Amino acid sequence: MDWRNGLGFTDRLRVIQSLTTAYQQASSASAFTEAQTQARRYETEAYENAVSKEEYDGICQQAIDAAETTSVAPVTSTDELQDAPQESEASDVPVGEKFGQYSSCFHHFDGLHSTIYKAKAADGTVRAVKITIPHLMTAPHDAQREARLLREAHGPHTVSLIETFRLDGGRLVLVFPFLRYDLEHLFRRDMVTATQTRSILRDLFQALAHIHKTGIIHRDIKPSNILMDSPDGPAYLADFGISWKEGDPGSEPSHQKITDVGTTCYRPPEILFGDKSYGTALDLWAAGCVVAEAIGVGHRALFDSGPVGSDLSLIVSIFKTLGTPNEQKWPGAQGLPDWGKVQFYDFPAQVWDDILPGASSNGRDLARQLLCYESSERLTAEEALGHPYFSTC
């Protein structure tokens, strides 16, 4: 029987969708219809010329990989710039709240433990003024430790702490350069090409390699904490509010670290089962989740923690994707405080081609080598920088 008889319409449509995404990411200025037309043409040629399903899959994967390495910078439209996270033109007039030397401060973002204002300094430069809320600073959140570790973490791809000062009521203020975009914002608007994505991820791993050398664990790696002033980069790692370093007066003992760290679907399995002795590999799992989200079709989070951010929902999602681990796959699990308290269904591991369909081969392999149950088997940040995915940066 001809192999084509076993390839249904839905299967071919899925391939066309993956190719369309790859061609759009090759130039984010490209119209959807143009990219889709190109994808349909290529898929039809592969379908007609391939002698087997394996050859058909290989031809289509080659096209996706080629699109990643030949992408060009997008044309950022006026609408995109206007829709970027910034306040109205009223910020250019000398009115607004006053904090220290910053007299024209306009509300930009509300976090759980702080409020961010956009302001102009006396020399005209634009700043992000972060006003912390002392009574909400429960562990592991600590603004004073954040300021200390930011100074220690200073580097080419960590956000710069310009100054700190206090307001009435003990509120600590941290001042940073104002950076227009975060990676989550770019994902949601499809504003980055594959080349730009690769460059941003490279900057992330350079930041991680740097802070890990100093002994700092960031503990909250996610797309919204990767900032830049342009989709072209450079990118900077931000928000050290729950970071940790051994010996820092505000950090827990190394074997009694807080496990309530990280954000929902970026939390690694070891802390979901109570590991208080985790190390920098915690950041690498989260970085692997960011890589998967960055290269995946639609930029969806790889794991799902459910509508309320449940640890149990996240565990099930991880197990359904990577397979329920056993002693051979995750030897260290047996020593975790909460391992064995709940019996999980024995889910088989999905193959990575199915986990990240339509992604480049190198990008998929990078995610695979970061998202390992055994934390010692994950790539370090420096090892990740040497991965073939970054060879064309």
**What are the DSSP E strand ranges found in the chain?**
97-99, 102-110, 114-120, 126-132, 163-166, 172-177, 181-182, 216-217, 226-228, 236-237, 244-245
Q: What is the mean pLDDT of residues 103-120?
A: 84
Q: In angstroms, what CA-CA distances link 322 with 109, 160, 274, 314, 349?
A: 36, 37, 20, 12, 5
**Per-residue model confidence as pLDDT tens digits over 50-98:** 888 888 888 888 877 777 766 554 444 444 444 444 444 444 444 678 8
The rounded Cα 45 to chain-centroid distance in angstroms is 35
Q: Which residues contact 338 (CB under 8 A, 6 or more apart)?
A: 272, 273, 274
Give SS3 for 283.
helix
From the list 65, 142, 182, 220, the catalytic residue is 220
**Per-residue model confidence as pLDDT tens digits over 171-189:** 899 999 999 999 999 998 8
Supply the pLDDT for residue 89. Answer: 43
Supply the pLDDT for residue 84. Answer: 45
Supply the pLDDT for residue 291. Answer: 97
Residue spans in the chain of domains classed CATH 3.30.200.20? 79-177
Domain 79-177 listed as CATH 3.30.200.20: yes
Superfamily for 183-390? Transferase(Phosphotransferase) domain 1 (1.10.510.10)
For the chain, state the CA radius of gyration: 23
Supply the pLDDT for residue 70. Answer: 65
- Where does the pLDDT of residue 11 fall: very low under 50, low under 70, confident under 90, or very high at 90 and above? confident
- Where does the pLDDT of residue 350 fall: very low under 50, low under 70, confident under 90, or very high at 90 and above? very high
Residue spans in the chain of domains classed CATH 1.10.510.10? 183-390
Supply the pLDDT for residue 81. Answer: 42
Amino acid (1-letter code) at residue 264: T
**Per-residue model confidence as pLDDT tens digits over 279-312:** 999 999 999 999 999 999 889 999 998 887 889 9
- Where does the pLDDT of residue 217 fall: very low under 50, low under 70, confident under 90, or very high at 90 and above? very high
- For residue 287, the surrounding DSSP H or E stretch is helix 281-295
Catalytic status, residue 220: yes
